[in-house]
Amino acid sequence: MSQPTQSSEQRRAYYRLMTLEVAPLSCFVPVQGDEVEIDLVDLSVGGLGILGYMPGLLLRPGVKYRGVRIELPKLGTLVADIEIRDVYDITLRNGIRTTRTGAQFIHLGAPAQNLIQRYILEAERERLAKSKP
């Protein structure tokens, strides 16, 4: 596994919501007639981030998954195709080594982009409201 490249950092053109800081968010990846549930670390109009090893999923750059489902609380369900872009090892603050995976949405239409943007705005509003004294 490799470190993220500078070009991958430069590709980020969208605001990323750190889902672990606001509300847990999962996605469901169809694999051989079943679904694998994955906890997301972040979400943007450009893609999503995954933390940890996922048994049953091939997490390598270039691998594509079709029909990934993300339940966005209070707003609805997003169904999209993704492509794995970056996979690298990291060490968490508690010393545990794990894997960080970044995936890009493939041909995400305007309605789906709007749904993600609305979710991010709502989550940020809630986070800010909770942080006020």
Cα pseudo-dihedral 67, 19, 100, 15, rounded to 10: 90
Instruction: Find the range with the poorest average confidence among 13-22, 37-46, 100-109, 113-122.
Output: 13-22
What domains lie within the chain, and their CATH numbers?
6-131 (2.40.10.220)
Residue of 131 and 22 predicted with greater confidence: 131
pLDDT for res 12 = 52
pLDDT for res 22 = 61
Q: Model-level pTM greater than 0.85?
A: no
Is 35 within 8 Å of 28 (Cβ atoms)?
Answer: yes
Over residues 30-50, the pLDDT tens digits come to 998 899 998 899 999 999 999
Average pLDDT over residues 90-112: 93
Residue of 17 and 74 predicted with greater confidence: 74
In the predicted structure, residue 7 carries a pLDDT above the cut 50: no
Average pLDDT over residues 103-125: 93
Is 24 within 8 Å of 70 (Cβ atoms)?
Answer: no
Over residues 60-85, the pLDDT tens digits come to 999 999 999 999 988 999 999 999 99
% of residues, the chain, pLDDT over 90: 53
Burial 63-78 (b: 16+ CB within 10 A, else e): eebeebebebeeeeeb
